[in-house]
């Protein structure tokens, strides 16, 4: 079994700032190379991370000293890059959304299964919200029965004013490919960001999601920019008892959202038979509220001490991948879990397009 993992990062753009943290902090991991088609990005990241710049994925995959590949590129590239890396016998972490269609996903999954059998490769669909410590705490409280059986999951995402010095500077190039459905696979809110929220919709209720209905509006922001909001997406969980979840996106274009990262305010409320749990923040930090609050039996517990910086979710998601390689186990999301979340996300896109409720099973 490996005692050290050397990674080649493919794509050194905006999110690489957070994906690299776990690689640099884990005592048994090392960033060996950065592969990016943009020479300036490649050189800057190589200098910043103290690693080797590589211009082509083929050259990276031919390097036998590299054990793992972390794919952080635009979505239309994910399928082919993941398959090539798996066929080269590497461990692969593939950023969400893993692919733009289920057919593409199944091709990656087949390569992952073959690589596991042939080389012991670990394949991870990289979704970090599930590793965000407040989400983990909420999940634990629910699993321990604090709210009884969960009956409803409500997620709200509030977009904020961009370009005011609040939050990250997101380069135009990072948004450009997201505006083209052929490169992004769906809207930048409901599909790109959505993968996280659909995972959260699945996280707190043990039964699968069966049907989805989505209203998705598009606002033209000028200069070719658009945002797929407001949107209201609802779903029903399987089981005899009716239980629903919902995700609402509100585009408050003049709202200041305090953030160290994207100006997006995500909140979750899970109501159960005898209690309620709220997660009050994620990448945004709009109000100085306790990250997690639990109501039960007439009493409120506020969890102030849980680590709340959004970057922690990336560190822990990356640690999960590294530890899975070191321990020879599966990493979250597994092949099957990644497919379930992707199918949920795609069903919402179909529902909005066709103005009807969609059964996830229809998608195959």
Ligand X SMILES: NC(=O)c1ccc[n+]([C@@H]2O[C@H](COP(=O)([O-])OP(=O)(O)OC[C@H]3O[C@@H](n4cnc5c(N)ncnc54)[C@H](O)[C@@H]3O)[C@@H](O)[C@H]2O)c1
Site of interaction with ligand X (CB under 6 A): 10-16, 35-38, 41, 57, 72-75, 77, 95-96, 128, 173-174, 192
Residue 143 or 173: which CB sits closer to ligand X? 173
Residue 275 or 284: which CB sits closer to ligand X? 284
Q: Are 192 and 249 in contact (CB under 8 A)?
A: no
For residue 31, the minimal CB distance to ligand X (Å) is: 15
CA end-to-end span of the chain: 37
Residues 6+ apart with CB under 8 A from 64: none
For residue 89, the minimal CB distance to ligand X (Å) is: 19
Structure-token pair, residue 305? 């001490």
Q: Are 69 and 60 in contact (CB under 8 A)?
A: yes
For residue 228, the minimal CB distance to ligand X (Å) is: 14
Structure-token pair, residue 149? 């059986």
For residue 97, the minimal CB distance to ligand X (Å) is: 7
Nearest alpha carbon to residue 181 among 72, 105, 76: 76
For residue 72, the minimal CB distance to ligand X (Å) is: 5
Residue 57 or 212: which CB sits closer to ligand X? 57
d(Cα 76, Cα 80) in Å, to the nearest integer? 9
Residue 59 or 362: which CB sits closer to ligand X? 59
**Cβ-proximal residue to ligand X, closest one:** 13
For residue 151, the minimal CB distance to ligand X (Å) is: 28
Q: Cα Rg for the chain, rounded, in angstroms?
A: 20
User: CA of 229: how far to CAs of 118, 158, 160, 186, in Å?
Assistant: 44, 10, 12, 12
d(Cα 95, Cα 124) in Å, to the nearest integer? 8
Residue 13 or 187: which CB sits closer to ligand X? 13
Pairing state between β 219-222 and 275-279: unpaired
Residue 237 or 261: which CB sits closer to ligand X? 261
User: CA of 154: how far to CAs of 96, 148, 174, 267, in Å?
Assistant: 21, 17, 29, 8
For residue 45, the minimal CB distance to ligand X (Å) is: 8
Residue 36 or 316: which CB sits closer to ligand X? 36
Residue 276 or 317: which CB sits closer to ligand X? 317
For residue 300, the minimal CB distance to ligand X (Å) is: 30
Burial of 231 by CB count in 10 Å (0-12 exposed, 13-18 middle, 19+ buried)?
buried
């Amino acid at each position: 079994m490996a005692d050290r993992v050397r990674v080649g990062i493919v794509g050194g753009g905006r999110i690489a700032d957070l994906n690299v943290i776990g690689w640099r902090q884990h005592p048994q991991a090392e960033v060996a190379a950065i592969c990016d088609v943009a020479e300036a990005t490649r050189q800057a990241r190589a200098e910043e991370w103290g690693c080797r710049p590589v211009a082509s994925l083929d050259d990276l995959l031919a390097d036998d000293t590299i054990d793992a590949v972390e794919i952080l590129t635009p979505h239309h590239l994910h399928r082919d890059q993941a398959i090539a890396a798996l066929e080269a016998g590497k461990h692969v972490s593939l950023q969400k959304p893993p692919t733009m269609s289920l057919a593409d996903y199944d091709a990656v999954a087949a390569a992952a299964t073959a690589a596991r059998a042939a080389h012991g490769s670990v394949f991870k669909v990289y979704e970090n919200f599930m590793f965000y410590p407040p989400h983990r705490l909420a999940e634990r409280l629910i699993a321990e029965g604090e709210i009884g059986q969960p009956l409803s999951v409500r997620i709200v995402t509030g977009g904020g004013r961009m370009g005011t010095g609040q939050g990250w500077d997101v380069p135009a190039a990072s948004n450009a490919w997201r505006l083209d459905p052929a490169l992004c696979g769906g809207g930048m809110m409901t599909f790109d960001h959505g993968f996280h929220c659909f995972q959260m919709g699945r996280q707190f209720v043990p039964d699968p999601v069966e049907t989805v209905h989505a209203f998705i509006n598009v606002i033209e922001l000028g200069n070719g920019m658009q945002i797929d909001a407001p949107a209201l997406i609802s779903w029903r969980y399987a089981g005899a008892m009716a239980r629903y979840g919902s995700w609402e996106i509100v585009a408050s274009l003049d709202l200041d959202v305090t953030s160290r990262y994207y100006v997006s305010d995500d909140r979750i409320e899970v109501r159960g038979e005898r209690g309620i749990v709220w997660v009050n923040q994620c990448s945004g930090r709009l109000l100085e509220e306790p990250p997690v609050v639990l109501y039960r039996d007439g009493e409120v517990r506020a969890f102030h001490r849980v680590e709340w910086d959004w970057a922690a979710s990336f560190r822990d998601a990356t640690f999960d991948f590294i530890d899975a390689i070191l321990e020879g186990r599966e990493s979250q999301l597994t092949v099957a879990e990644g497919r379930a979340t992707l199918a949920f996300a795609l069903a919402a896109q179909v529902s909005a397009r066709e103005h009807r409720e969609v059964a996830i099973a229809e998608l195959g």
